[in-house]
Structure 1
Amino acid sequence: MEDYLQLFVDETSFYNRIVLGTFLPESVWGPLPHFFRGWLRNYIGGTLLYFVSGFLWCFYIYYLKRNVYLPKDAIPSTKAMLLQIYVAMKAMPWYSALPTLSEYMVENGWTRCFSRINDVGWLAYITNFIFYLGIVEFGIYWMHRELHDIKPLYKYLHATHHIYNKQNTLSPFAGLAFHPLDGILQAVPHVIALFLVPMHFTSHVACLFMEAIWTANIHDCIHGKLWPVMGAGYHTIHHTTYRHNYGHYTIWMDWMFGTLRDPMEDEPKEK
């Protein structure tokens, strides 16, 4: 068992060397305990992913494709985007604690994670991955919905994110502009799922960091019209009505629980 758990430690150590070895001299991160190396790597990696994905996406839709996807009056001001960056950066050290904690639990054998796909086979891997995503989808939907329905949670946590409630205040940088505890609560289903279904560890890590890219995408106000994906068209409605489209990746949870509102239905009908 200890030899198998060492595979997880070796994998996270590999990630540490790639990220920390690229940006910091070993004299800085080398003496740190393994747990804190993981946190520092997650913080640096998460920050880089946030800025790279945010700047590239904003550059593409607001400058290269200016007025193609969005009308001029729907493009957020630089001031609005800087505020979103400020809020996200205050929260990033706390966000980084969740994947670090999940790695610690995996490395100690507390979860149902497995290290190699050939340990279970491709069929089991795909089946487990689908169940994992289903648990995440269900968990994020209800966590998000309760952050609206439970008034103190909304007032003291989720309202920080909902000051961005119009097209011209939403941007890819708003994707991580949450109160730290709010952002962590909405990502917790990723960790809970590790105790419920066997999950490939590398895939779990990838899913956590894909959150940064996905949340940037659903805050750009561009409706991709790719059914059944819960894209930006749906999420923009959420920011304007506050009572619809709580889902994350797909529309299924909102459809099942009666909170779905289709952006196509809001478009003006041609005469």
Structure 2
Amino acid sequence: MTDAEHLHRLVQETDWYNSIVLDALLPSGWKQLPRILRTWLRNYIGINIVYFVSCFLWCFFIYHWKREVYHPKDYIPSNKTILLQIIVAVKAIPWYSLLPILTEYMIEKGWTKCYCSINEVGWPIYLTYVTIYLILIEFGVYWIHRELHEVKLLYKY
């Protein structure tokens, strides 16, 4: 497979991801939106779905179903506190939706080495790459989160 065919296959894969989310949720006229906007919209919708489903499951499990196991009676946060956390998260989601657009752009332009299939590289190398990637991501997220706590302008308390 030539480089051009490989990159075309990656672009088709992104279009397929976009169609999975957007075709079911948006009018057909939205297909004319620029590709980068459709990709951002796909990410935004997907992140919202993951956020609200996981929050619902967490709250149901921790605060209702297993209340006695994880929290004393008076320790459950108020609805106001929970709503404030939701508002903060919802304000951040549009910004979190931008980073995957940058990485997909870099992939589609051939600036990175991505594989369409595990068969292109083999299982041992693939698992090694995934392990290295997860270690780097977790390390980066930890330090970014830790450093954000040092920026006092971001916090009221």
Aligned to 2:33: 32
The alignment partner of 2:69 has SS state of coil
Aligned to 1:8: 10
1:159-174 matches, within 5 Å, as 159=155
Count of paired positions: 155
Aligned to 1:49: 50
Aligned to 2:143: 142
The alignment partner of 1:131 has SS state of helix
| More relative contact order, 1 or 2 (CA 8 Å, 6+ apart) | 2
What are the superposed Cα offsets for residues 84-116 of structure 1, whole Å, 9 maximum, x if unpaired?
111111111111111111111111111222221
Question: Runs of 5+ in structure 1 lacking a partner?
Answer: 164-271
Instruction: Please give the TM-score of this superposition, normalised by the length of structure 2.
Output: 0.90
Aligned to 1:156: 153
- Runs of 4+ aligned structure 1 residues displaced above 3 Å come to none
Letter of the 2:127 counterpart: I
Aligned counterparts of 1:12 and 1:45: Cα–Cα separation in 2: 14
Report the alpha carbon displacement of residue 26 of structure 1 after superposing the two structures with TM: 1.4
Instruction: Please give the TM-score of this superposition, normalised by the length of structure 1.
Output: 0.54
Aligned counterparts of 1:141 and 1:87: Cα–Cα separation in 2: 19
The alignment partner of 1:114 has SS state of coil
What are the superposed Cα offsets for residues 21-51 of structure 1, whole Å, 9 maximum, x if unpaired?
1111111x20111111100000011111111
Letter of the 2:134 counterpart: L
Aligned to 2:23: 21
Letter of the 1:5 counterpart: L
Q: 1:137 to 1:92 in 2, by over 3 A?
A: closer
Question: Runs of 5+ in structure 2 lacking a partner?
Answer: none
1:1-271 matches, within 5 Å, as 1-27=3-29, 29-148=30-149, 151=150, 154-157=151-154, 159=155
Q: 1:77 to 1:102 in 2, by over 3 A?
A: same
Aligned counterparts of 1:47 and 1:127: Cα–Cα separation in 2: 31
Report the alpha carbon displacement of residue 129 of structure 1 after superposing the two structures with TM: 1.0
Letter of the 1:132 counterpart: Y
Cα RMSD, aligned residues only: 1.6
Aligned to 1:241: none
The alignment partner of 2:77 has SS state of coil
Report the alpha carbon displacement of residue 75 of structure 1 after superposing the two structures with TM: 1.1
The alignment partner of 1:112 has SS state of coil
Aligned counterparts of 1:59 and 1:141: Cα–Cα separation in 2: 27
The alignment partner of 2:126 has SS state of helix
Letter of the 2:153 counterpart: Y
The alignment partner of 1:30 has SS state of helix
What are the superposed Cα offsets for residues 99-147 of structure 1, whole Å, 9 maximum, x if unpaired?
1111111111112222211110000000111111222233223323333
